[in-house]
Homo-oligomer: A and B are copies of this chain.
């Protein structure tokens, strides 16, 4: 079962949910940015400077979190997101590399 914050366990990460999450260009941008950072990097959602409202940013991160692409944790007053690189590589080898290789729009 997903944990209290909606993170699926690694074995629960489903291809359909991951592909649906990655079908959106802004969500791919988040994954691409995180994939280019050192493993374990955690960033605030606002640091991605997505060109949408705060509510929409929250929505996009919920989709990413519930699909199993990012892990979100609270640190002080901030909500930080990191890429579930190892889990994703185990479930869908090569998928992150494909997303990371997409040219910036």
A residues with CB within 8 A of B = 15-16, 19-20, 22-23, 25, 28, 92-95, 97-99, 102
Contacts and interface: CB of A to CB of B under 8 A. Distances in A.
A27 to B, nearest CB: 10
Contacts of A99: 15
Number of copies: 2
Contact of A23 (B19, B28, B98): B19
Contacts of A93: 94, 97-98
B102 A98 contact: no
Given A92-B98, A98-B93, A16 B25 contact: yes
A42 B99 CA distance: 29
Given A94-B94, A94-B95, A95-B95, A102 B15 contact: yes
Nearest to A22: B19
